[in-house]
Amino acid sequence: MSEPNIKDLLNEEIATEIQNLSELKTGSDEKSSAIDDLAKLYKLRIEENKSEWDADEKYDRRVMEGEANTKDDELKQKQLEEQVKERYFRVGVAAAELMVPLIFYGIWMRKGFKFEETGTYTSKTFTGLINRFKPTKK
């Protein structure tokens, strides 16, 4: 058998006081005192209810804040993942910007040197391209 809580005890005491009130003589000091006691008990019950409601409200607020923080953390994690992907993409593009011209120049240089095995640049195409083989931005 579980112990009764304060709220149940308070409700029982209020019910008892109301029953006892009907037995007292109207206008007597005892009845006035009993009414004052009953009013105090009602105030206690109201305060108890307020405390319970405040506790419930605080708990609900903590739960909502926890959910909001979880959603914020998930959003931040997604943003971080997107930033990492974007960073890798930028690095890949930068590497391609460097490697593609180097590969292109390497292929043309090899073909040009094969064509110019004599040691002189006699081909008009290769002579015009030799100045552009420097992998720098113009």
Domain boundaries along the sequence of the chain: 6-132
pLDDT at 11 (0 to 100) = 84
For residues 14 and 44, the answer to whether their CB atoms sit within 8 Å is: no
Please write the tens of the pLDDT for every residue from 94-137: 999 989 888 887 887 777 666 556 655 556 666 666 666 655 55
Residues constituting the chain: 138
Mean of pLDDT values over 82-93: 95
pLDDT at 126 (0 to 100) = 62
pLDDT at 10 (0 to 100) = 81
pLDDT at 37 (0 to 100) = 85
pLDDT at 88 (0 to 100) = 95
Confidence band, pLDDT 50/70/90 cuts, at residue 70: very high
Confidence band, pLDDT 50/70/90 cuts, at residue 78: very high
Q: How far apart are CA 104 and CA 100, in angstroms?
A: 6
pLDDT greater than 70 at residue 43: yes
For residues 72 and 66, the answer to whether their CB atoms sit within 8 Å is: no
CA dihedral 110, 115, 117, 123 (to 10 degrees): -120
What are the CA-CA distances from residue 28 to residues 13, 17, 31, 35, 36 (Å)? 21, 16, 5, 11, 13
Grouping H, G, I as helix, E, B as strand and the rest as coil, residue 5 is coil
pLDDT greater than 90 at residue 89: yes
Q: Tell me the whole-structure pTM to 2 decimals.
A: 0.45
CA dihedral 68, 69, 72, 77 (to 10 degrees): -140
Share the mean pLDDT of the chain: 81
